[in-house]
Structure 1
Amino acid sequence: MRRHLVQLLASTFLVATAPALVSAQQVEKDFDLAKESLFSADNISYDRENEQVTAIGNVEIVQGERVLKADRVTYSVREDQIVAKGNIVLLEPTGEVLFADEIELQNELKTGAIRDIRVLFTDNSRLAAQSAVRVDENSTVMNNAVFSTCALCEEDKNAAPLWQVKARKVKHDKAEKQITYRDAVMEFYGVPVLYTPYFSFPDPTVDRKSGFLPPTIFDSSFLGYGATVPYYYVISDDKDLTISPTMTSKEGGHLALEYRQAVERGDYTLDGSITYVDERDSNGVKTGREEFQGHVRGVGEFDLDDTWAWGFDFFATSHDTYLDKYDISNEDSLTSTAYVQGLRGRNYTRLSAYTFQGLKAEDVTGETPFVPAWLEYSYVGEPTRLGARYSLDVDALTLVRTEGQDTNRVSVKGGWHLPYTSPSGQVLSLDASLRGDAYYALDQLEDPYDTSSETQSQFTGRVIPSLSMKWSYPFVRQAGSVRQLIEPVVEGVWSESLGSKETPNEDSLSFEFDDTNLFGDNRFAGLDAVEEGTRVNYGVNFGFYGAEGGYTTLLVGQTAHLAGDNRFGEGSGLEDRWSDYVARLEIQPIDYFKYTHRIRLDEDDLELARNEIEALVGTEENWLSLGYVRIGDEITNAGLEKRQEIFTQGRVKLADFWSAYGSYRRDLTDGGRSVEATFGLEYLDECFGFAIEGQRSFTRDRDVEPSTSIGFRIRLLPFN
C-alpha cells in the first residue's frame, strides 16, 4: 500500500487540479486492484517533510474488496498508518459495514483501533461498542458491546429494542465465522433477564453451524409436562445430525435422531427414535413390564449415470400406536421400497421391492403382502410419418404372504396410438392394444373379498384385445374479455378378456368412479381387474376464461355399457347399463378464491352417491380452506369405506407480526364426532418469535386415548 500511495501522490501533484481523482490509467501497467489502492477526495495535500498525505471531503480509499469512506483521512507514509475521522464507513469484503467516529488502521486497512464502532451485518443485525481493536484481518475485539437483530422503534429511537445482548467483550473471528460473548446479559425491553459468562453463535455469513435449535415446551394429557431441546451438529460440509431429546413427566425420556448426507451423485436422510416405557395392553392398562418402542425411517436416491438411478424409502415402527402417541405420523399403513430405475426420453424401466406394515387393529401381519420383485417397463416409439406411435408395456410381479395367497404375474401389452386433428378443428384419436397376462397363484382365494373362502393353486392366463376411438369438437368464441368454450367429447371402447375368468385380484380391489376416470379403456386402478364389453363414454366440457386469468370450468359425463360382461359391483356407479352421472365444477375468478365441487348422481333418481367440496379463499397472510366429502353406504360395496366428514383450516393476520391459525376435522357419520382440532397463536418479527399451540385428538385406538396437548416455542433470531 505504501509503494502505491507514493506513486499516487506523485501522479496527483503532477496534475495540480482539485478535486483530484487517480485512476488505473495514471499508474504503472502492472497495477493490480487486488493488491494496490485507489485514493480519491475533494482536496488532497501532501507534506513532503513529514511524508504525510491529508485528504478532505468525500474521501474514499479502495483496497482490493475493502472500501473506506470518511470526511477526513490522514495517511503517514513513514508509519504506513491511516487516521480517519467523521462519518466513517468501512465496507468489508464479507459484506458487513462498519460505522465509526474515529479509526486508525494499518496493514492495508486490516488492523488498527476504532472508537464508537457500529457494525451492520449482512442479515441486518447490528452490533455497537465503545471501542474496538482489529487484531488482524480476521479478528476484531470489541469492548462494552450491544447486539440485537431488532429494528429500532420509529417513534422513539432511544427506546430499548425488544431484546438485546450486552457484553463486556465481544470477539468476531471471521476465519472461524464465529462471534463470542464474555460476561453477557440478555435484556427484554431493557430489563435484564439472563446472565451468562460465555456464549457464542455463528456470524451471518454461515449457512450451517452446530448449535441448539428452538426448544419446544408442552403439556400433554398422555405425556404430561415435557420439553424438547434439539441440537444441530454439522459433521462436515456434506453431512449433519440433529439430536432431539425429550423429557416428559409421565412417560420419561424420548430420543429422536435425524442424519442427512449428500454424496457425489445423490443424497439421503435417516431418522429414528426410541423410548423405554411401561408396557400396556390393547386397553391401555399397564402390564407391570417395561419395553423399548421406536421407529426408523429413511429416504434416498442416487444417480448411477444420466439414465439410471437407485434409491430407497423405508418406514417401520415397533408398535402400531407409537407414531400416533408421539406425534410422528398419522399413517395407518407404512410402505417401504428399494428400487433401480431408468428414464430415457419417454421410455421408463423400474425394478423395485416393497414391504408393508399395517397399523390398524384389524390388520393381520401374516396376510400383509411382501413384494420381493416388481418389474415395470414402458416404451413409447417415435412418431411415424402419419404421427402414429407404438408402445410396449411389460409388468412382472411376485407377491408373497406368510398366511394366504401368493401371486406371480407377467403382463405384456403392445399398443398403437394415432392422433388426428381435422381442418375444421375436430380432434380424434384411435387406440388399439393387445395384452397378455399369465398368473401362477398359490392358495388363491375363490372370492378375493372374502378371506374365509376356499383356496386353490393354479396357472391361469388371458389375452385382452382393446380398441377405442375418442372424438371431441371444441367450440370457442370471444364475448368481450371472456373466451367461452363448449367441447363435446365421445369415446367408444371395446375390450374383452379371452381366457380364464379366475385370475387373482391383488391391485384392483377398490374402485371409485368419478370425473378423473370417465374416459379411458380400463377404469380399474391396477392390472388384475379388466373392464370388458362395448361401452360409450361421453361428456361435455364447458369453460369461461377471463383476460386476467380467472376461469370457470364444468365437466358433465356418463357411460353407457352396450354389450358384454359388466364386472363392476353394486355401488360402483357402473353396475347398470347406464352409469351414474359424474360432474366436476371449478371456479377461480381471482387468485384469492378457488372452488372445486365433484359429485356423482344416481342415474335413476339423481340422488347424491358421492359429494366432495374444496374451497380456498384468501391471501398468503389471511386464508381459509374448507373441505367436505361424503361417500354413501352403497359405494362401500366397491371396496371403499363409508365416509362423511368436514375439514377446515385457516390463518388470520391479527396485527403486525401477530397471526392466529387453526384446523378442525369432524366425522359426520353416525351422529357425528370430532376427530381432531388445532389452534395456535404466533408472533414473528425480524428478531423474535414465539408460538403457543393447542391440539386435541378425539381418536381412541387401543392404548391411545383422546388427548390434549399444549406446546410453546420461542425463537431468538439469529440464535435459532
Structure 2
Amino acid sequence: MPQITWRAPFLAALALGAGPAFGQAVVTPPISAPTNIAPVLPGEPPAAAAASAPAPAARPGLPGLTSGSPADDQQPVTFTADEVEYDQNRALVVARGHVEAWQGARVLRADEFTYDRNTGVATARGNVQLIEGDGQIVFADSAVLENQFRDGVLEGLRGLLAQNGRVAANGARRTDGSLFDLSRVVYSSCDPCREDPLAPPIWQLRARTATLDQTARQVRYRDAFIEMAGVPVLWTPYLQHPSGSAPRQSGFLSPTFGITSYLGGFVVTPYYWAIDENQDLVLRPLIATRQAPNLGLEYRRRFNFGEIQADGSIGYLNGDSDTPRGFAGHIFSRGRFAIDENWRAGFDLNRASSEEYLRIFRFGARRLLLTNAYTEGFWGTDSYARIDSSIYQGLRSTDDNSQIPVVFPNIYYDWRAPTDGLGGTFTFDTWNFATFRDAGTDTQRANVRLGYSLPYADSAGGLWTVRAVSDISGYNYTDLAGAPNFSTTANNGGVATGNIRAALDWRMPFIRSAGEYGHHVIEPRLQVVTGPLTGQQTNVPNEDSIDYEFTDANLFNLNRFGGRDRQEGGTRFDYALRGAWHFPNGGMLEGLAGASYRVQNDGGPFYTGSGLENRASDYVGRARVLPVPWLEFMGRGRFAQEDGAVRFLDLSTTVNFDSGTSVSGGYLYTPPVPYLTPVQTRNEIAAGVTQRFGHWRVSAYGRYDLELNRPVAVTATAGYEDECFILEARFLKRFAEDPSTGNLYPANTLLLLRIGLKTIGDFGFRAI
C-alpha cells in the first residue's frame, strides 16, 4: 500500500470542492440532554479561542452555525498539522496533532483530521473547534462532514455565539446546506458563576429539539422550557425568534400584558416589519376588555441626507365620566434633512385627540404639542439664519386653542463682524414674524437689532465692558383688545417703536491665595444702563415677552425681557457682590447677591410681583456649596427689597456616598404669575434616594405641595441587570387635578414589571 508520511510542521492545500466550510456542520440527536451551559467547554479555554477572531456583532438567539460567503465556499481547504499521512491507493489524507484547517475565513481545529478524497467525507476528532469568520465558535467531540461539506453531523456540541450566547446540544445535523437540527438543546447568554461554574445560570432555554433555518433566518424550538436558576418557570410547545444572521428581520416581538382601571385586562402584541434596508415599521395592536382595540405604529426611514421618525395610534374611546366618547388618536413625528454643507431642514408634527387619550394608552402625557417646519443655515460661528412656522395645540381642558397663535412665518438672521482695531465686536440681527389667532390678536412684526461690545482691562485689574444695543420694530395688528394683550388703548392698526440701551459694566476680581487651602475671590460688580423711557407700551403687541422671571441670571442684561416686544427704558444701576473660595480638590464655595435701582419711578412695563415694578428691585442671589466631590448644594432666590420676604426660592442638594447611595432634596417656592393658568402659588418640597449595589439599583422620589397640603407625585423603581438578565419594577402615581372638574387626571397611577432575557426577548406587565 503506497503511503506517504510528512512530519511537522506541514502545510497543505487541497482542492476539496465547493460547499460550506467546517463551521456549517450540524447536529445529531442522541440520548440525554446536557445538564447546564456552565461546564467547561472542550478544547482550549473559550477566552483563548475567541481571541483568535474578531468579536461578533450582537444578535439574538442562536446566530452561530451560519453559512459563509459564496466566495469562501469556493476556496480550497488549507491545513497545518504536526503529522500528515497520505494513502495514495485509498486517496485518504490523515492529519494528526494540532490540526488546523481553514477555508476562507472559517477555521477547523482538532486533534485528528481525516479526509477521503473518493467520498468527500471529512472526519474530525478530539477537541474539535469550528470558528466562523465573525468570531463565533462551536466546540464538539467529533464532526463528520460530507457532500462537499454541505451536510454533516456533530456530537457533543458546545457553542460560543454572538452577544455572549452559549449553546449546548447532544448533537447537531445539517441537511440541504441550510437546515440545522439540534437535539436536547440548552441555550443561555449568562456567564458561568465564578464561585461554582457547574451551577445553573440565572436563566437558560432548554428544548427537546431546535431547528435553525438559514434560508428563513429563524430559530424554532419545540417542547421548550425557560429555567430560572435551574427551576422551570415557563413551558411552551413552540418558540421562534430570528437567528440573528440578518441585521433586521420581520417578526413578532415580545408581548406586554396588563390590567388598568380604564382598559381592563389588555395585551399588546407588537409586530416588526423590516420593509427594506432603509425603512421599518412596528405595529402595536392593543386588545383590551373595557375599550375598543387600539393600534399603535412606529415608522422609521433613513435617507442619504436625513431621516424620518413617526409614532402614531388610532383607537376608539368608549367614554365615561372622565373621557369623551368617539374615535381618537395621535401622531408624534420628526424629520431631519441635510441640504448641503451650510443648510439643513426639518419638521415636527405632533397632534393628539386629548391629554386623557395619551394618558390612558400610555403614549406620554403632554400639556402642549408643537408642530413646525424649518430650515436653517450655518456659516462658521459668524452668522446663522432660520425660517420656520409653528402651530401649537393645548391639551388641557383649561386651554383655549382659539387663543393659541399660529406662527407663519418666523424669520431670524444674525451676523457677527470680525473684531475691530479697538477689540470690540459689532453684531446685527433681524427677527420677523406673523401670528394669527381665531380669537385674539393677530400680529405682524419686523425687527432689526444692532449691537456693539468693547471689553477693556485697566492697569489695576479692573474689567470694563462698554455695550450698546438698539432695536427698531414695526407692527401691524388686529384685535389688540383680545388675548393675550387685552389692551385698553388700541385695537386695530400699526405702530413703530425704537429703543437704544447703552451700558458701562465694571468688575474688579480681588484674588488672594489661601496656600494649601486654595484661593479666595471677592468680586464687586457695577453696571450703569441708560436709554429713553419706554412706559407701559400697552399699544404694542406682546408675543415674545410674556413669560418673564427676574433672577441673578438676567440681573445685568440690558433688557431684562427675553424677547423684543417689551423694551425696558430709562436709567438704572445694577450692582452685585460675588465671593468664592476655590479648593485644591476642585470644590468651591460661592455666593452672589445683587439688585437694581431705577432712577425714574414710572413702573415700566413690568407686572406687579415681578420684582422690578418699583424703583428699587427685589434682591436676587445664588449660593453654591461644593466642598467635596460627594456633596453639592445649589440655591437661587429673590427677596423683597422692603422686608426681605421670600418672592422666589429654588434649593437643591445632592449627597453621594461611597457605598453607592445618592440622596437628593429640594424646595421650590414661586408666587402666582399672570401668564400661567391656573394662577396659583407653587410651594413644594421634593426628595429622592438612589442605591446601587452590584447589579441592583433601587430608587424612590416624591414631591409634596405645601400650599395644597397633598402629594404632587410619587415614584419608586427597583431593578437588576447583568450580562444576560433584566428585572425591573416601576411605580408612579401623580396627584395632578383637572382644574375644570377637580378630579385626578385619568391613568395617573402606573405599575410596570419587566423581565428581560437578553438575546431572547422582554416580557412586560403594566397596570394603571
Aligned residue in 1 for 2:553: 516
State the alpha-carbon separation in 2 of the partners of residues 433 and 363 from structure 1: 37
Change (3 A) 1:152 1:224: same
How far residue 302 of structure 1 moved from its aligned partner, in angstroms, is 1.1
Aligned residue in 2 for 1:399: 435
Aligned 8 A contact 1:570 1:637 in 2? no
Of 339-348 and 327-336, more deviation after overlay is shown by: 327-336
State the alpha-carbon separation in 1 of the partners of residues 297 and 185 from structure 2: 37
SS across alignment from 1:516? helix
How far residue 46 of structure 1 moved from its aligned partner, in angstroms, is 5.2
* Residue correspondences, number: 691
How far residue 449 of structure 1 moved from its aligned partner, in angstroms, is 5.7
How far residue 379 of structure 1 moved from its aligned partner, in angstroms, is 1.2
Change (3 A) 1:139 1:98: same
Aligned 8 A contact 2:601 2:614 in 1? no
Work out whether 1:580 is the aligned partner of 2:618.
yes
Aligned residue in 2 for 1:226: 266
Q: Give the TM-score, by structure 2 length.
A: 0.81
How far residue 92 of structure 1 moved from its aligned partner, in angstroms, is 0.6
Aligned 8 A contact 1:223 1:248 in 2? yes
The CA deviation string for residues 397-447 of structure 1, in whole angstroms up to 9 with x for no partner, is 111111122111111112222233456654333222322111111111299
How far residue 138 of structure 1 moved from its aligned partner, in angstroms, is 5.9
Aligned 8 A contact 1:462 1:497 in 2? no
State the alpha-carbon separation in 2 of the partners of residues 593 and 515 from structure 1: 23
State the alpha-carbon separation in 2 of the partners of residues 196 and 232 from structure 1: 22
State the alpha-carbon separation in 2 of the partners of residues 379 and 559 from structure 1: 31
Aligned 8 A contact 2:155 2:171 in 1? yes
2:752 aligned to 699, 711, 718, which one? 711
State the alpha-carbon separation in 1 of the partners of residues 584 and 91 from structure 2: 73
Aligned residue in 1 for 2:608: 570
Structure 2: give runs of 5+ residues left out of the alignment. Answer: 14-70, 762-768
Letter in 1 for 2:328: Q
Aligned residue in 2 for 1:27: none
SS across alignment from 2:163? coil
Aligned residue in 2 for 1:691: 728
Greater relative contact order (CA < 8 Å, ≥ 6 in sequence) = 2
Change (3 A) 1:209 1:570: same
Letter in 2 for 1:662: A
How far residue 592 of structure 1 moved from its aligned partner, in angstroms, is 4.3
Aligned 8 A contact 2:440 2:482 in 1? no
The CA deviation string for residues 209-243 of structure 1, in whole angstroms up to 9 with x for no partner, is 33444433333334333333333322222222222
Letter in 1 for 2:684: E
State the alpha-carbon separation in 2 of the partners of residues 304 and 528 from structure 1: 33
Work out whether 1:298 is the aligned partner of 2:337.
no
How far residue 193 of structure 1 moved from its aligned partner, in angstroms, is 5.0
State the alpha-carbon separation in 2 of the partners of residues 361 and 237 from structure 1: 43
SS across alignment from 2:557? coil
Aligned residue in 1 for 2:368: 333
Change (3 A) 1:416 1:174: farther
State the alpha-carbon separation in 2 of the partners of residues 435 and 658 from structure 1: 57
Letter in 1 for 2:508: Y
How far residue 45 of structure 1 moved from its aligned partner, in angstroms, is 5.2
How far residue 393 of structure 1 moved from its aligned partner, in angstroms, is 0.9
Of 87-96 and 49-58, more deviation after overlay is shown by: 49-58
Aligned residue in 2 for 1:129: 169
How far residue 457 of structure 1 moved from its aligned partner, in angstroms, is 0.9
State the alpha-carbon separation in 1 of the partners of residues 630 and 158 from structure 2: 44
SS across alignment from 2:318? strand
Aligned residue in 1 for 2:567: 530
Trace 1:619-698 onto structure 2 (pairs within 5 A): 622-632=661-671, 641-653=680-692, 656-670=694-708, 672-698=709-735
The CA deviation string for residues 350-380 of structure 1, in whole angstroms up to 9 with x for no partner, is 1111112223333223222211211111111
2:279 aligned to 209, 227, 239, which one? 239
State the alpha-carbon separation in 2 of the partners of residues 669 and 500 from structure 1: 33
Change (3 A) 1:626 1:142: same
State the alpha-carbon separation in 2 of the partners of residues 555 and 42 from structure 1: 79
Aligned 8 A contact 1:121 1:204 in 2? no
State the alpha-carbon separation in 1 of the partners of residues 511 and 76 from structure 2: 69
1:495 aligned to 528, 531, 534, which one? 531
Aligned residue in 1 for 2:391: 355
Trace 1:20-419 onto structure 2 (pairs within 5 A): 20=9, 22=11, 35=75, 39-44=79-84, 52-76=92-116, 81-105=121-145, 112-135=152-175, 140-173=180-213, 177-204=217-244, 206-280=246-320, 284=322, 290-346=325-381, 347-419=383-455
State the alpha-carbon separation in 1 of the partners of residues 353 and 329 from structure 2: 6
Work out whether 1:594 is the aligned partner of 2:583.
no
Change (3 A) 1:404 1:447: closer
How far residue 47 of structure 1 moved from its aligned partner, in angstroms, is 5.2
Aligned 8 A contact 2:516 2:584 in 1? no
State the alpha-carbon separation in 2 of the partners of residues 50 and 485 from structure 1: 93
How far residue 537 of structure 1 moved from its aligned partner, in angstroms, is 2.2
State the alpha-carbon separation in 2 of the partners of residues 291 and 644 from structure 1: 38
SS across alignment from 1:321? helix
State the alpha-carbon separation in 1 of the partners of residues 627 and 94 from structure 2: 67
Q: Give the TM-score, by structure 1 length.
A: 0.86
Letter in 2 for 1:646: I
How far residue 558 of structure 1 moved from its aligned partner, in angstroms, is 2.0
How far residue 199 of structure 1 moved from its aligned partner, in angstroms, is 3.2
Work out whether 1:506 is the aligned partner of 2:504.
no
Aligned 8 A contact 1:416 1:431 in 2? yes
1:541 aligned to 578, 582, 587, which one? 578
SS across alignment from 2:362? coil
Letter in 1 for 2:424: A
State the alpha-carbon separation in 2 of the partners of residues 642 and 565 from structure 1: 27
How far residue 476 of structure 1 moved from its aligned partner, in angstroms, is 4.0
Aligned residue in 2 for 1:5: none
Aligned residue in 1 for 2:57: none
Letter in 2 for 1:359: L
Aligned 8 A contact 2:727 2:755 in 1? yes
State the alpha-carbon separation in 2 of the partners of residues 437 and 274 from structure 1: 45
Aligned 8 A contact 2:441 2:477 in 1? yes
SS across alignment from 2:164? coil
Aligned residue in 2 for 1:609: 647
SS across alignment from 2:550? coil
Letter in 1 for 2:637: I
State the alpha-carbon separation in 1 of the partners of residues 459 and 108 from structure 2: 71
Q: Which has the higher strand share?
A: 1
Of 60-69 and 696-705, more deviation after overlay is shown by: 696-705
Aligned 8 A contact 1:269 1:298 in 2? yes
SS across alignment from 1:331? coil
How far residue 598 of structure 1 moved from its aligned partner, in angstroms, is 0.9
Aligned 8 A contact 1:214 1:713 in 2? no
Letter in 2 for 1:669: E
Change (3 A) 1:592 1:83: farther
Change (3 A) 1:468 1:331: same
Change (3 A) 1:184 1:193: same
State the alpha-carbon separation in 2 of the partners of residues 498 and 531 from structure 1: 6
Aligned 8 A contact 1:103 1:115 in 2? yes
State the alpha-carbon separation in 2 of the partners of residues 714 and 573 from structure 1: 52
The CA deviation string for residues 444-469 of structure 1, in whole angstroms up to 9 with x for no partner, is 12995648x57521211111112123
How far residue 82 of structure 1 moved from its aligned partner, in angstroms, is 4.1
Aligned 8 A contact 2:111 2:127 in 1? yes
